[in-house]
Amino acid sequence: MSAIGLRAPVAPAAGLRGPIRVLLRQHRRSLWAAGALLVLGIAIVVGLRIWVAVASSDELCADGDITRCGDDTYQPTYARAAAEAYLSEGGTVVLLLAALIGVFVAGPLIARELENGTFRLAWAQSVSPAQWLAARLALPAALVTAGMTILVLVYRWGWSGMRSNPSASELGWYESGVQPAPGPTAVAYALLALAVGALCAVAVRRTVLSMSLTALVLGTVMLGFGERRYELWPTTRFLGDNWPGGDAWHIESGMLTASGKEIYWKDCFRAGTTIPEDPTSCLRDQGGITYFADYHPASHFWPIQLVETGILLALAALAVALAFRVLRRRHG
């Protein structure tokens, strides 16, 4: 009988301490690098806010304009323009960080040991395959949750301060470059990346292939949510000429016929056709009588965030369960 078969049962809590200590020693450089990225992200946001505050002495108007108030010209300080440009991509940065987490878990953390066979040493020292994998999920999950939560809070502080300016551009809560960053969705993406990385690693057992597959799966999920996020919560319909606008996320608009049929503005701008001089006439010619607009008001930020977070966490739990199932089928 092998040494693995003769090992004594170990309490789960105690059984994870050893593998976790080994992980901390093995990947301390990666942990330092992750910590440095976290500090850098915080420093960038804080630095941008300080820069804008210092440059505000050049602003002549409440909306940050450095030219004469009330005219048709709006020109912000370079500090404000740069801060808005950087913060408008906070969600994109979060998704990239999540992808890096998934690729690291899939490659150096799990698949490389399975490919090289070094996992056998741990399994021969009173560590079951399940405990070995649990340690490689529990430690990163705790660190990722803490680090991403801090980053989200700091980003939200910087983003909310900048978007309070009525002339701020590309900082709407619904912007694709922003939406994943100011709430729990950021943490959920990171945990999903970790789970997908683990599943790809135990299923493929090849470092480069596992990393590539993880990146492909995560990219597909992120792109899918980015394209269909507006469908996660029912829209609000406004009837009339002057729809609310402001901080609302415009989804679709057009006119209703007498029977209630929807006619969309985009139908008057089909590719290859001449743009009508009066789109309203185009809609009325098709029977439109009442304007409508479907949109998400600012109050839908949290419902959309929470629904997306719930779906991502459910997918992460499924990926983790499948990873343990694959490991158990192959190694008992």
N- to C-terminal Cα separation, the chain: 15
| Per-residue pLDDT at 101 exceeds 90 | yes
Strands (E), 26-166: none
Distance, in Å, from the CA atom of 212 to the CA atom of 104, rounded to the nearest integer, reads 11
- DSSP character for 299? G
Per-residue pLDDT, 11: 44
Q: 1-10, 47-56, 202-211: lowest mean pLDDT where?
A: 1-10
Tens of pLDDT, residue by residue over 198-247, are 999 999 988 899 999 999 999 999 999 999 999 999 999 988 877 766 78
CA angle centred on 216, ends 211 and 220, rounded to 5°: 150
Backbone angles phi, psi at 238, to 5 degrees: -115, 135
Per-residue pLDDT, 225: 95
Per-residue pLDDT, 315: 97
| Per-residue pLDDT at 7 exceeds 60 | no
Backbone angles phi, psi at 250, to 5 degrees: -75, 130
C-alpha dihedral (264, 268, 269, 275), degrees to nearest 10: -150
Q: Give mean pLDDT, residues 53-78.
A: 79
Reduce the DSSP state of residue 294 to 3 states and report it: strand
| Per-residue pLDDT at 124 exceeds 70 | no
Q: Kindly give the pairing relationship between strand 236-239 and strand 249-256.
A: unpaired
